[in-house]
Chain A
Amino acid sequence: MPEIATLERVLWGLSFFLNVGLVLLLLYWKNHRVYPLFFVYAASAVFQSIALFGAYRAWGFNSPASLSVGWGTQLLVTSARALAVAEICHRIMAKYQGIWKLARLLLISAAAFVALFSWSLSQSNLRSVLLSFDRGMALAIASVIVILLLLSRYYAVSLEPTVRTVTTGFFLYSIFCVLNNTVIERWLTHSTMLWNVLGTVTFIASLLLWAWAFREPQEQAAARPEMLPESVYGSLVPEIDSRLKTLNEQLNHFWGAEGKKT
């Protein structure tokens, strides 16, 4: 593998050992039972590294076979990452039946829209389609995380520190993937060196965040809070919304008067 620069090899090795360390940490504290899909994601990333290492050794860095292995395993890892983020969403919101139904619909719609929109912008060649797919998935994951946090804030749903850290890791890695894919599509058509180095550095940062988050055993998701009878929402919330609407109209009037004065 002479094509791969020393720095990249060092970073790759570091990320591999950190990744293995994360998997072992999850197993040691039995956190794989609490966050099974996150564990699958971490394990799939280890599997990808091993598969890539084998492919590069066997066929060389720039061979079509290595490229196929690279993109094939990338598809698996990206899907596992999406599922791990879905698990986080479930952990935060599923306790609240009503808003979870609403949030689920919103998150799935947003993810599908963003991924398809991003993918639709790809050019006709295979490389562009693959890059766009990866970028679309990363952008969808980042969007889902932002919407999830906005919903949590709006409904004052508290976030566990672990969830907060894991989410930060996913978000940073995802937006970096978007930027990386966009830059590489535009400027670095013939070189993937920078893409690999920067991507590995971001992945290492995310691995450190996740290792920090899972440095101790995690509790199973808290039990559902006692729900109010359905009729409470039906009776009070439309009334509140109606009054808020009137209040807003009053403020409009208020503002109109101000406008005339000025």
Chain B
Amino acid sequence: MNLLFYLFFAVVAVLFVLFVWSLRSSKASGARETIPEDVGRSHVIYLPQIRQAMAEADYQFVADKVSLKTQRRMRKDRRNVALAYLKELRGDFDGLLRTARVIAALSPEVVAVQEWERVRLTVSFRWRYRIIWLSLLAGFTPLPQMTDLSKLLSGFSVRLEDAMIKLGERAALVGEMASAPDRRRIHPA
């Protein structure tokens, strides 16, 4: 009985937190939740510079020639570059995800399995992203994996764009949906 008593309090607490969070988020998202105008864009155009900045050889070369203080600053700058890059990866991911959500919202039929799968993947991605973010903050710079991620995202964008072009008129509708300022957020009222 005691357990059940506390269970109800716990459920109410969870519901309350979720309620406040979803209300606050939906209010804040009024300005933030927009559909990207350039779905096919990717951070990949900056990849050569990022790779150069993160190259171990570069660091070794400079390390022999500058003071410890400068090396520390350089390490810090490199880490900041990696963090910024990871942030861009997430931005690309979120942009593509938003496109999928808008397509779902404006479709007369949706498939529950597809929708659930995307929710599951999003939760999983965000959780792992946070772990990687923290490990980067702790001083790791896993560049090869980051490159894989970058390739994957850019490939995804290109394929999505191809698919839209093939869809002809329908793609134009999606494009219009993404570019018209008054339709970036689903708000027909």
A residues bordering B, Cβ < 8 Å?
Answer: 95-99, 101-102, 105, 121, 135, 139, 142-143, 145-146, 149-150, 152-160, 164, 168, 171, 175, 178-179, 182, 186, 219, 222-233, 235-241, 243-248, 250-255, 257-258, 261-262
Q: A101-B109, A230-B108 are in contact. Are A225 and B188 (CB under 8 A)?
A: yes
Is there contact, CB below 8 Å, between A158 and B186? yes
Q: Which residue of A lies closest to B16 (CB)?
A: A175
- A244/B118 contact (C-beta < 8 A), A168-B23, A231-B170 known: yes
Which 8 pairs between the two chains have the least Cβ-Cβ distance? A233-B107, A222-B189, A149-B22, A98-B110, A254-B145, A243-B156, A225-B188, A240-B100
Interface residue from B26, B128, B148 paired with A255 (Cβ < 8 Å):
B128
Q: Is the interface of B mostly helix, strand, loop or mixed?
A: helix
Shortest beta-carbon distance from B48 to chain A in Å: 20
Contact B103 A233 (CB under 8 A): yes
Give the residues from 134 to 152 in chain B that come closer than 8 angstroms, CB to CB, to chain A.
135, 140, 142, 144-146, 148-149, 152
Contact between B159 and A243, CB atoms less than 8 A apart: yes
- Asked if residues A251 and B100 are in contact (CB atoms below 8 Å), the reply is no
A164 contacts which chain B residues (CB < 8 A)? 23, 27
The residues of A that contact B27 with a CB separation of less than 8 Å are 164
| CB pairs A–B below 8 angstroms (26 shown) | A98-B104, A101-B109, A101-B110, A149-B19, A150-B22, A178-B12, A219-B189, A225-B106, A230-B107, A231-B167, A231-B170, A233-B103, A237-B103, A241-B100, A241-B121, A243-B159, A244-B96, A247-B93, A247-B149, A247-B153, A248-B125, A250-B149, A251-B125, A253-B145, A257-B142, A258-B131
B107→A98 contact, CB < 8 A: yes
Give chain B interface residues in 86-134, CB to chain A under 8 Å. 93, 96-112, 114-115, 117-119, 121-122, 124-125, 128-129, 131-132
Give the number of residues in B that approach A within 8 Å (Cβ atoms): 76
Which residue from A102, A153, A229 sits with its C-beta under 8 Å from B22? A153
Asked if B4 lies at the interface with its beta carbon under 8 angstroms from chain A, I say yes
With contacts A98-B108, A146-B19, A153-B25 taken as known, whether A228 is within 8 angstroms of B173 at the C-beta atoms is yes
A258 pairs with B132, CB closer than 8 A = yes
Task: Specify which chain B residues have a CB less than 8 angstroms from the CB of A232 in the assembled complex.
Answer: 103, 107, 167, 170, 173-174
Is the beta-carbon distance between A153 and B103 smaller than 8 angstroms? no
Does B30 belong to the interface (CB within 8 Å)?
yes
Please determine whether A139 and B11 come into contact, CB atoms closer than 8 angstroms.
Answer: yes
Label chain A's interface by main secondary structure. helix
CB of B98 to closest CB in A, whole Å: 7
On whether the beta carbons of B135 and A236 are closer than 8 Å, the reply is no
CB distance from B110 to the nearest CB of A (A): 4
- In the complex, are the beta carbons of B109 and A233 less than 8 A apart? yes
CA distance A239 to B99 in the complex (A): 12
| Contact with B186, one of A101, A155, A238 (Cβ below 8 angstroms) | A155
